[in-house]
Amino acid sequence: MKSLEKQSKEAFIKLFDAIASSETRSLKAALTLFHPNFRGYGSSLSEKYIGKDYMEWFLDEQAKQIPQGLTYEILDMHFNQINESVAEMFADLSIELLTPRGPVAIDLMRVTAVLAKFDNDLLFTQIHTSVPDRSAVGETIVPGATEPKIYEEASILFTDFSGFTTLTSTLPAKKILSELNDIFANFDEIILKNNLTKIKIIGDAYMAAAGIIAPQDHAIAAVTAAQQIQEYLTERNLRSAIKWHTRIGIHSGQVIGGVIGSRDLSFDLYGDTVNLASAVEQAGAADKINISAYTYGLVHEKIACEYRGKIEIKDKRMIDMYFVK
């Protein structure tokens, strides 16, 4: 009789062999490896605790996006026995997605899975995947496989720390990184709570967007998140020896989202709205939320603002701006 470890490893390989092919026969074979009580699929982007019906839809969508399938190599694999009938599997894989737009390489994908016995088989009850140091909007099932998308209405939020250059010249790099890690982790929680999408961090600058995933009043959501970021920093500064002061800028409008390249699978946003949001942030002031006139028009009925006048930005344009009170 096969050991639980051998059964687990065989099931893991059998599942990925089936997924690697986009053929209907292979995908049906993959579905037989899911436990009747399958609790769901999760990724670094989102958790979807849904049953086998979801996985059937998911695999079908994957087949449409990568009709030529994928190739994979297991770099590392570990087994952990929970009890006589339940096991965990941990694996690192390198994957190449054979998309219509060309191959997309994922140098490292981490997969964790829980398997449980059902009759004489060992079947998956849960799967979680992540791509370290990469991100993509949750609706993009296979990063790089889908065409860029136009988001007609979104609000872009930028933050940047005032006096950061002075801080870096007076504090050890390790301390700066520790502080930024703590601060940005709290920013992440605020962004998630308000249904915004974190786009990227560049040095001490943080970029997020509202209206990309969740249907919402995107401008209100962006300003609310900005206010909560300010509240968090104000409270933090009361108990911390190092004081952090941030400028926040928000502009709303149309943006284009997509994944560029074949190895760097980071979702990003492009367009004049993004450029203007960055300019609005740079034209702001420490501990202030600076918004454009367009964003003001979307929030002024619910959020009090103070008109600043027309402010010149770096491309010589004059933009009406407001401080959120």
Q: Is the distance from CB of 66 to CB of 145 less than 8 angstroms?
A: yes
Residue 117 CB neighbours (<10 A)? 16
- Residues 35, 95, single domain; the answer is yes
- Residues 305, 255, single domain; the answer is yes
- Looking up tokens 């250059």 gives 165
Report the pLDDT value the prediction gives residue 109, as an integer from 0 to 100.
Answer: 84
- Residues 28, 171, single domain; the answer is no
Domain closes at, from 130, 163, 190: 130
Q: Cα separation of 21 and 199, whole Å?
A: 32
Chain segment 42-91, per-residue pLDDT in tens:
665 455 667 788 788 888 877 877 888 889 999 999 999 999 999 999 99
- Residues 191, 79, single domain; the answer is no
Which residue from 46, 56, 24, 22 is spatially nearest to 145, judged by alpha carbons? Answer: 22
CATH, residue 223:
3.30.70.1230
Whether residue 135 lies inside any domain: the answer is no
Whether residue 40 lies inside any domain: the answer is yes
- Residues 23, 63, single domain; the answer is yes
Residue 192 has pLDDT above 50, yes or no: yes
Residue 197 CB neighbours (<10 A)? 22
- Residues 306, 176, single domain; the answer is yes
**Strand, coil or helix: 61:** helix
Domain closes at, from 130, 162, 186: 130
Mean pLDDT of 303-313: 94
Whether residue 106 lies inside any domain: the answer is yes
Domain closes at, from 63, 95, 130: 130
Mean pLDDT of 159-188: 90
Whether residue 215 lies inside any domain: the answer is yes
Q: Which domain holds residue 77?
A: 4-130
Question: Which residues make Cβ contacts (< 8 Å) with residue 105, sequence separation at least 6?
Answer: 94, 95, 96, 97, 262, 263
Whether residue 137 lies inside any domain: the answer is no
- Residues 251, 221, single domain; the answer is yes
Q: How far is CA 246 from CA 1, 69, 178, in A?
A: 63, 46, 17
- Beta-strand runs (E) in 82-167: 86-99, 102-118, 121-130, 149-162
- Residues 156, 74, single domain; the answer is no
CATH, residue 27:
3.10.450.50
Chain segment 16-54, per-residue pLDDT in tens:
998 888 787 888 888 899 999 887 776 654 556 677 887
- Residues 224, 258, single domain; the answer is yes
Whether residue 140 lies inside any domain: the answer is no
Residue 313 CB neighbours (<10 A)? 17
**Strand, coil or helix: 19:** helix
DSSP state of 180: H
- In one letter, which amino acid is 22? S
What are phi and psi for residue 216, nearest 5 degrees?
Answer: -165, 170
Instruction: Give the lowest-confidence range in 101-110, 150-159, 301-310.
Output: 101-110
Q: Is the distance from CB of 198 to CB of 208 less than 8 angstroms?
A: yes
- In one letter, which amino acid is 246? T
pLDDT cut 90: percent of the chain above it: 53
Whether residue 52 lies inside any domain: the answer is yes
Q: What is the reported pTM?
A: 0.65
- Residues 41, 115, single domain; the answer is yes
Q: Cα separation of 233 and 41, whole Å?
A: 35
Residue 300 has pLDDT above 60, yes or no: yes
Q: Is the distance from CB of 311 to CB of 281 less than 8 angstroms?
A: no
- Residues 123, 260, single domain; the answer is no
Residue 299 CB neighbours (<10 A)? 24
**Strand, coil or helix: 56:** helix
Number of domains in the chain: 2
Whether residue 298 lies inside any domain: the answer is yes
- Residues 110, 171, single domain; the answer is no
